[in-house]
Every structure is written in C-alpha cells, then in structure tokens.
Structure 1
C-alpha cells in the first residue's frame, strides 16, 4: 500500500508566475517565482533579499520603502505597493531607488546641494544613457 504525502499549504490560491526584475546598474535581471496574488511590496522585498543573497553590485540596501517597481509596458508610473503583481498581466519589471526628497534647512528653504538631479524617471535615465553612447561614437 502506498502512502501519499499531503501537499503543504502554499498561501493564497492563484497562479504562479516566473518574473524578471531588472535593477538599474546591475548586470542582469533577477528571476524568481511569485504567486500572482502577492502584493508588489512583497515582491520588492523578495527581490532585494535575492539580490543581496547573490552578492550583486551595486549594493542596494534592504529597506523596501526606498524602492519603486515599474512595469515598462504599463507606462511610467510606479506600481502601488498594495496592488497585486498579477494585476498588470506582465512578467518583466524594473526596480529603481526612489528619488531623494528635498531636505529643508532650518529656515525652511530647500537645500539644492543635497537634492538629486533629475526626476528619478527610469525611462529618462535610459534615454539619456543611450544618447550619450550614440553621440560618443
């Protein structure tokens, strides 16, 4: 007589997806399997842990609140941390650090020297990088 092992409960029901997350400045994408019902915040957390475990560069840190996840096929807006990863119908994503906010000096004026240049828009960064490479040839 054969005994069958019961499958362990694997969280909420739903399809599993193999996703790829590109990190700006990193050599290649991170790939892992997620449940389509997982929240974007959980996916960012998993991506950061996987990235660190693999010893990738540049070092990103581990605070998921410092990052935004973009779906290149859905436009230039970052995904909400509370939406599900499967809601976009995509499997390729881009992980970017959030732009630093302007710091205020004691008298209330913004300190322009401490702000990051640019808008933090990853598409603008890629276009600028491509234009520099093309113009240097």
Structure 2
C-alpha cells in the first residue's frame, strides 16, 4: 500500500503542476472550464477549448481549426498570446478565445484583438431598480 502511494506521488511530480482554467468564448453564454498542465502550449489549450465547446453543443458553431483562433488574457493585455508559449507562464487562469480577424493579404502580422466590454448601465438605473421592491399590502 505504501509502495503504491509512493509511485503515485512520483508520477504526479513528473507530470508538472495542473490547474483549472476558464476560457470565455466571445459571443457564447459562459466560460468553458478544464484542467491543463502548466507546461501545455497555448495552441493545445485552444484546441482543447474548441473540442470542449463542440462537445457541449454550444452556439455559435465555431469550427475545429485552432489556427483560426487566438487566446487572449485580459489581465496581461489585449495582444494575442503566442501559440508556442506555455500556458502556465502567464500566472493567470482566465482567458478569452477570439476568432482571428481576416487579413486582406497573406502577410502574417501580430494580432491585436479588441475585447468587448460589458455595459452594466448607469448606477442610477441599478439603484432605482433595487429600490423598486414590491411591497405587499395587507
């Protein structure tokens, strides 16, 4: 029993650290969450996210070619992450998956992706809505 536990611990140390990430797909209802190895490449994470997205039957349909997408980290900046970088090197766990903009020519340039911001409305509207509680009459 002790020997079995010792082998299991050695195997987990060799595999590297694993952590849970959230990938939000622009235009989708919610994030996709899955566990990755910190040494996994960004391209592999994009591929895994697209497969999970398709497996769950989410809309809009994206396709399966990971070369058509970029992974962004809103905390680091709006520039797309390079596909050969390791996912654990950023120190964050929340990412956005965006479709690459279609280029006019065949020139490959660094891609900057505009991340849409949510609009929560004005604080006055929120305040009025929260005060508009229904009071039942006796």
**TM band (smaller chain):** 0.7 to 0.9
2:74–2:95 contact (8 Å) kept in structure 1: yes
1:12–1:37 contact (8 Å) kept in structure 2: no
Alignment: residue pair count: 117
**Of 122, 130, 134, which residue of structure 1 is paired with 2:119?**
130
Q: Where does residue 40 of structure 1 map in the other structure?
A: 42
TM-score (norm 2): 0.72
User: Unpaired runs of 5+ in structure 1?
Assistant: 105-118
- Measured on the aligned residues, the alpha-carbon RMSD in Å equals 3.1
Q: Where does residue 83 of structure 1 map in the other structure?
A: 85
2:47 partner SS = helix
User: Unpaired runs of 5+ in structure 2?
Assistant: 126-138
**Of 25, 28, 33, which residue of structure 2 is paired with 1:23?**
25
Deviations 1:70-117 (CA, angstroms, capped at 9, x unpaired): 01100111100000000000000000000011169xxxxxxxxxxxxx
Shift of 1:4: 3.8
CA distance in 2, matches of 1:97, 1:11: 35
Larger Rg: 2
